[in-house]
Amino acid sequence: MKTKHLLLLLTLIIFGTNAQKINKLPEYKLSKNEIEAHIRFIASDEMLGRRTGEITNNVAARYVAENFRLQGLKTPNGQKDYLQPVPFEMVKPTKKGEILVGADSLKWTKDFIVLSGKATKLENVPVVFVGYGWVDDKQDDYKGLDVKGKIVIAQFGIPNSDDPNENLKGSSKKVDFAAKNGAAAFIQLYNLKYPWTAISNFMGGEKLNLAPENASNADLIPHIWVSNVHIKKFAKETLSTLSINVSEVSKKTVMSYNVLGVLEGSDPVLKNEYVVLTAHFDHVGTGKKGGRVTESDTIFNGARDNAFGTTAILSAVKAFTQKPTKRSILFIAYTGEEIGLLGSKYYAEHPLVPLKQCVYSLDCDGAGYNDTTKVTIIGLERTDAQPQIEAGAKAYGLTAISDPAPEQNLFDRSDNVNLAAKGIPSPDFAPGFTAFDAEINKFYHQVSDSPESVNYNYLLKFCQAYIYSARLIADRPTAPKWKAGDKYEKAFNDLYGK
């Protein structure tokens, strides 16, 4: 009996030990103190909200870059630095303006905005109506029209499209068409559903855009949007001349930076494929530029949005350099997310690693958390990497849930969408929330989102779950793909030649 008991005990020890080895998580050192240090630097008062175009945004980029260097990441494609320059154009609005329509005087911002152009004064200049004012291989709205030295008036948007984004994007092309045809000014009659006050504040104020890559005549003449309230005053049948007096819209180039680092995979074949781990490090700045302030605080620290995600990326760098994955990892920290996903948009158009080699992207961004037992994955069910993400979260006591607030359109509001649009499966790994409720809005884009308000025990689990999910995906024998029927499935097939 004693011999049998001894053999049974030895069997349990041996098989128990093997089972423990099989189920054991990859070993790497990640401490709560370390992640807290990242947050307390990135989201500190001294960083003044890391607004794109301001010096502290570049300081944040350098902080990420030097952490990449510390862990021994390579620069992509032989770049001299981890920083990818992203050229922005700082636009400052006109300081005054008036349009005379018959006996009526339209005032700047209240009735119209000027998007670009030099200071211009025109008195009783003839107007020409040009439909949309569009030119392509299918139509030319200027054909047979003499607009030289005249004020061109166009319907807002572009032909055959009710997509607001396409109409906004086409707007800058239209003023170039007008300028090339010799117009003295270009006016669009705004008619979108967005309230004019919101459009006036956003489009007519100081802003950053990606710098245009091609030379344009658009800045030579005033480009004006007139409020939909006044459309009837611009009737083709009754309006023959206009007077315009506007000051210059000034523009200058401002540099910001995406931060990129590469870790080569351990598998001789799979290392030619990349899993892309991304997060944005910028936030909204200080004072009125950021939003609602208090008497005691004017700094939008952005701890949750998105020092959280930046810290997860930096933690993943350390974890994977200690134990590489089979596939290579491309780490990207984006600038310009808060001003329209512009850093990621620029990268998607100027990739430093061929997009075809990037088989998956896991962005890390969110508005905050109201449930520390969960991680919320925007797009969880849209790719076949769902099991790996769920297992990665479960390993650290968290539950991965899908988007609880589809009405917020969060998938298309984070950086993941720009690589997704290229075809790369790209969910967003966000802190646990079950609804956009008062607890989320208490901190989302508020001065209260400071390092002192963060639950660091939860952040540690969050980072660990993100890292392990990424590891499981990067070690998969097959590359992930979109679920059948997803709106980005065609782009996926085009990119990878499926």
How far apart CA 52 and CA 335 sit, in angstroms, is: 7
Per-residue confidence band for 38, with pLDDT thresholds at 50, 70 and 90: very high
Helix axis angle, 386-394 to 456-474, nearest 10°: 140
- Per DSSP (E only), the strands in 197-240 are 207-210, 223-226
- Give per-residue pLDDT as tens, 268-317: 999 999 999 999 999 999 998 777 888 899 999 999 999 999 999 999 99
How far apart CA 48 and CA 155 sit, in angstroms, is: 41
Q: CA separation (Å) from 317 to 16, 290, 322, 325, 480?
A: 32, 30, 9, 11, 21
Q: Scan for tokens 């589809």, then name that residue.
A: 406
How far apart CA 253 and CA 263 sit, in angstroms, is: 32
What is the structure's pLDDT at 4? 43
Given a contact cutoff of 8 angstroms between Cβ atoms, the answer to whether 495 and 361 are in contact is no
Given a contact cutoff of 8 angstroms between Cβ atoms, the answer to whether 90 and 252 are in contact is yes
What is the structure's pLDDT at 342? 97
What is the structure's pLDDT at 14? 35
Given a contact cutoff of 8 angstroms between Cβ atoms, the answer to whether 57 and 342 are in contact is no
Given a contact cutoff of 8 angstroms between Cβ atoms, the answer to whether 428 and 417 are in contact is no
How far apart CA 159 and CA 350 sit, in angstroms, is: 29
- Give per-residue pLDDT as tens, 71-121: 999 999 878 999 999 999 999 888 789 999 988 999 998 999 999 999 999
- Give per-residue pLDDT as tens, 215-257: 677 788 999 999 999 999 999 999 999 999 999 999 899 999 9
How far apart CA 438 and CA 451 sit, in angstroms, is: 19
- Give per-residue pLDDT as tens, 313-367: 999 999 999 999 999 999 999 999 999 999 999 999 999 999 999 999 999 999 9
Please give the structure tokens belonging to residue 335.
């600038």
Domains, the chain, ordered by start: 28-88+255-496 (3.40.630.10), 94-248 (3.50.30.30)
Q: Scan for tokens 């902080």, then name that residue.
A: 63
Q: What is the overall mean pLDDT for the chain?
A: 92
Per-residue confidence band for 192, with pLDDT thresholds at 50, 70 and 90: confident
What is the structure's pLDDT at 8? 42
